[in-house]
Amino acid sequence: MKEKLLSDAYPFWERLSAEERAELLQSAALVSYRKGECVHRSDMGCTGAVLVLSGLLRVYIVSEEGREVTLFRIRQGEPCVLAASCLLDAIQFDLVIEAAEAAEAVVIPAGVLRPIMESNPYVGLYMYRQATERFSEVMWMMQQILFMGADRRVAIFLWEETAGKGQRTLRMTQDEIARNIGSAREVVSRVLKYLAEEGAVSLGRGLVELRDPEKLRKLFE
Amino acid sequence: MKEKLLSDAYPFWERLSAEERAELLQSAALVSYRKGECVHRSDMGCTGAVLVLSGLLRVYIVSEEGREVTLFRIRQGEPCVLAASCLLDAIQFDLVIEAAEAAEAVVIPAGVLRPIMESNPYVGLYMYRQATERFSEVMWMMQQILFMGADRRVAIFLWEETAGKGQRTLRMTQDEIARNIGSAREVVSRVLKYLAEEGAVSLGRGLVELRDPEKLRKLFE
């Protein structure tokens, strides 16, 4: 069962020796996280390779003043190597991973991964390839933050989280929306008020309801 | 001579077979770029792995409206794998590389690298490791852009480019400074005017002169 999980998630599995597989299987631990619990922070030491079985993890950066910008989320079935950033010495900045919802994950400890990574290039190749893929996502988001107006960003986010998923309601506070698009709550608040006045959405406590998808769509065309 | 360059720059060299080395050596081309010439853009097709011998390359992203944000520079002796982003299918966004100064480089064409990357994991490991390292730099810069005030960013940039290099004069237009720190020219212009009024710098056409290093330094302490 655990072997099936690992071999499905990690394409380097078939490149491992029998000993390496046995070692990873033995050390891989099932870990549960409460909602809001910290999975990784650079001062916590090195976690390892995380494979999400259920729930949702959020990866973000924090400013000195405590402002957060979400970089990406890790969903069910997805691996995340950035909690093993201590193994990836090419990564020189701090990020935080926390459970956005209660989550379960299989964690391969960094201490076990390190010698295998050093002797088997396929493992390192996978890890760095994954890291590059995540950074590529982040770059896309950064381009949005740098280049796009906040109104467009709010509209796109609302669209993707409602109509784009076949839903009408987004259960999220304005603060959460702001953190998701890397903007300030005040900015999001202003855009949402405008959208509500236009009849595109209606606002409730901790939720946004889609009223006129066409109006919302026009904002980012 | 070319072999020494490649074996010094690329740590995977010792992991290559004799045939692989011969192929890379034969295909590696010495390329000269004029100042301002484009080295890589996603619609130009795939360049390959670039090793800078002299001069300076600049890697940046461009918005739909043509606004540029510099991500990093590639200096003499440094390799850049991002011009081979077609080989790194984990990279899904567009960037542009141009010669910020007249430059010479050794380019290994993507077509030659591809089969070697596929058969030899050390080559892919190197490529993705390099990409991760660059992204890590970019993340650091993005954190500055997202979290720091423009005045601090301008001050740090001026400091690093003058006092930090033992110089007094920065020959750069306000537009170039803005692109370097990922800000708008108007913002840079305002901060520079403030710094000039404070006596920290004096402004000329296309240059900024350091007057009072201590005042400048106070801005980012």
- Mean pLDDT over A174-191 rounds to 82
What pLDDT score was predicted for residue A43? 78
Residue A74's H or E segment, with its range, is strand A68-74
* CA neighbor of A110 nearest in space, from A53, A166, A45: A45
Q: How far is CA A198 from CA A155, A177, A210, A215, in A?
A: 13, 19, 12, 8
pLDDT value for B143: 74
* Beta strands per DSSP E along chain B: 29-33, 38-40, 48-62, 68-74, 79-80, 96-109, 169-170, 201-204, 207-210
Across the interface, of B121, B132, B139, the residue whose CB is closest to A132 is: B132
Q: What is the mean pLDDT of residues A108-127?
A: 93
Residue B125 touches partner A, C-beta closer than 8 Å: yes
Query: At residue A163, does pLDDT exceed 90?
Result: no
Is residue B109 domain-shared with residue B189, that is, in the same domain? no
β-bridge partners, A163: none
Residues A112 and A19 in one domain: yes
Using DSSP's 3-state secondary structure scheme, residue B220 falls into coil
Q: Identify residue B205 by its one-letter amino acid code.
A: R
> Nearest 5°: phi and psi at B65?
-85, 0
Residue A13 has pLDDT above 90, yes or no: yes
Are residues B136 and A92, on separate chains, in Cβ contact within 8 Å? Answer: yes
Q: Does residue A97 carry a pLDDT above 80?
A: yes
Which chain A positions have a beta carbon within 8 Å of B137's beta carbon? Answer: 92
d(CA A208, CA B190): 38
pLDDT at B64: 64
Burial of A208 (0-12, 13-18, 19+ CB in 10 A): buried
Largest CA distance in chain B: 64
Output the pLDDT for position A2: 84
Residues A138 and A208 in one domain: no
Between CA B119 and CA A174 the distance in angstroms is 50
Looking at every residue in chain B, the average pLDDT score rounds to 87
A2: how many CB neighbours lie within 10 A of its CB? 13
Asked which of A146, A162, A192 is the last residue of a domain, the reply is: A146
CB A59 within 8 A of CB A71: yes
Annotate B1-40 with b (16+ C-beta within 10 A) or e (fewer).
Answer: eeeebbeebbebbeebeeebbebbeeebeebebeeeeebb
Looking at beta carbons, which residues of chain A come within 8 Å of B92?
133, 136-137, 140
For B132, which of A88, A146, A147 is closest by C-beta distance?
A88
Co-location of B201 and B98 in the same domain: no
pLDDT above 80: residue B106 = yes
Q: Report the pLDDT averaged over residues A204-211.
A: 92
B63 Cβ under 8 Å from any chain A Cβ: yes
All residues of chain B having their beta carbon less than 8 Å from the beta carbon of residue A91 are: 132-133, 136
The predicted pLDDT at position B84 comes to 82
| Chain A partners within 8 Å of B64 (Cβ) | 147
Confidence of residue B81 (pLDDT cuts 50, 70, 90): confident
Domain count within chain A: 2
User: What would the pLDDT profile of B17-71 be if each residue is shown by its tens digit?
Assistant: 999 999 999 999 999 999 999 999 877 778 899 999 999 999 988 876 677 777 8
Residue A124 pLDDT exceeds 90: yes
Provide the CATH number for the domain around residue A177.
1.10.10.10
**In the predicted model, is pLDDT for residue A75 greater than 70?**
yes
Where among A122, A146, A170 does a domain terminate? Answer: A146
Residues A32 and A71 in one domain: yes
Of B121, B138, B140, the CB nearest to A125: B121
Whether B41 and B86 share a structural domain: yes
Q: Give yes or no for residue A146 having a pLDDT over 80.
A: no
Q: Are residues B185 and B121 in the same domain?
A: no
pLDDT confidence of residue A64: 64
Q: How far apart are CA B135 and CA B37, in angstroms?
A: 23
Q: Which residues of B touch A124 (CB under 8 A)?
A: 125, 129
Res B65: pLDDT = 64
Same domain, yes or no: A142 and A161: no
pLDDT at A24 over 80: yes
The pLDDT-based confidence of A20 (bands split at 50, 70, 90) is very high
User: CB-CB: which of A121, A133, A143 is closest to B122?
Assistant: A121
Shared-domain flag, residues B134 and B32: yes
Could you tell me if B14 lies within 8 Å of chain A, comparing CB atoms?
no
Instruction: Tell me the pLDDT band of A65, cut-offs 50, 70 and 90.
Output: low
pLDDT at A42 over 80: no
> Is the domain of A124 the same as that of A162?
no
Q: Considering only alpha carbons, which residue of chain A is nearest residue B130?
A: A90
The set of residues, in sequence order, having a beta carbon less than 8 Å from that of A153 and lying 6+ positions away, is: A144, A145, A181, A183
| A64 lies within 8 A of chain B by CB | yes
Give residue B100's domain range: 2-146
Question: What's residue A33's pLDDT?
Answer: 96
How far is A121 from chain B, CA to nearest CA, in Å? 6
* Among B61, B88, B131, beta carbon nearest to A143: B61
Confidence (pLDDT) at B181: 81
pLDDT classification of B187: cutoffs 50, 70, 90: confident
3-class secondary-structure state, position B170 = strand
A73 and A108, same structural domain?
yes
Q: Among B120, B146, B172, which residue terminates a domain? A: B146
How much of chain B, in percent, has pLDDT values that exceed 90?
45
Determine which of A17-21, A182-186, A216-220 has the lowest per-residue pLDDT on average.
A182-186
Cβ contacts (< 8 Å) between A137 and chain B: which residues? 92
Q: For residue A219, is pLDDT > 80? A: no
Kindly indicate the confidence band of residue B196, based on its pLDDT and cuts at 50, 70 and 90: confident
**For range A152-174, the mean pLDDT:** 89
Task: Write out the two tokens for B175.
Answer: 């537009």
A14 touches chain B (CB under 8 A): no
CB contact under 8 A, B125 and A125: yes
Domain CATH code at residue A13:
2.60.120.10
Does residue A42 belong to the interface with chain B, where contact is any CB pair within 8 Å?
no
When the pLDDT of each residue in chain A is averaged and rounded to a whole number, the result is: 87
Overall average pLDDT of the A92-111 stretch: 90
pLDDT top residue among B20 and A87? B20
Please indicate, yes or no, whether residues A95 and A17 belong to a single structural domain of this protein: yes
CB contact under 8 A, B139 and A93: yes
Task: Enumerate residues 6+ apart whose C-beta is below 8 A from B31.
Answer: B104, B105, B106, B107
pLDDT tens-place string over residues B107-161: 999 999 999 999 999 999 999 999 998 888 888 777 766 666 777 888 889 998 8
Is A168's Cβ below 8 Å from some Cβ in B?
no
